[in-house]
Amino acid sequence: MHVKAEICPKCGVHQQASVATPANGKSRIAAALLAFFLGGFGVHKFYLGQVDLGILYLVFCWTLIPGVIAFTEFILLLVMSDEGFAKNMARTSVNL
């Protein structure tokens, strides 16, 4: 049975709604903690698979601007729902 199917084709039973998880299996809380503690160096961006942004954070880490941006991303990750995080990761993920 397909994961996104709402009804089982064999028995007709509705599937229970599962919590949406991003395709790459990354954790929203882990990303938030990395953004808080090491966000100025872009570690959370590397964790989320956004290597180009992680390198950009590393290049400008001496300006402290990436640290301020990472703190706002930390707050956003904390208030974001798991479903919103999964949708955001699906939108930003690169198919390798």
**37-49: pLDDT as tens digits:** 999 999 999 999 9
Say if residue 28's pLDDT is above 60.
yes
pLDDT beyond 60 at 18: no
The identity of residue 53, as a single letter, is L
pTM of the model: 0.74
Mean pLDDT (the chain) is: 86
Question: Whole-angstrom Cα distance, residue 46 to residue 54?
Answer: 5
| CA dist., res. 24 & res. 82, Å (int) | 14
pLDDT value, residue 33 = 97
CA distance 95 to 40: 27
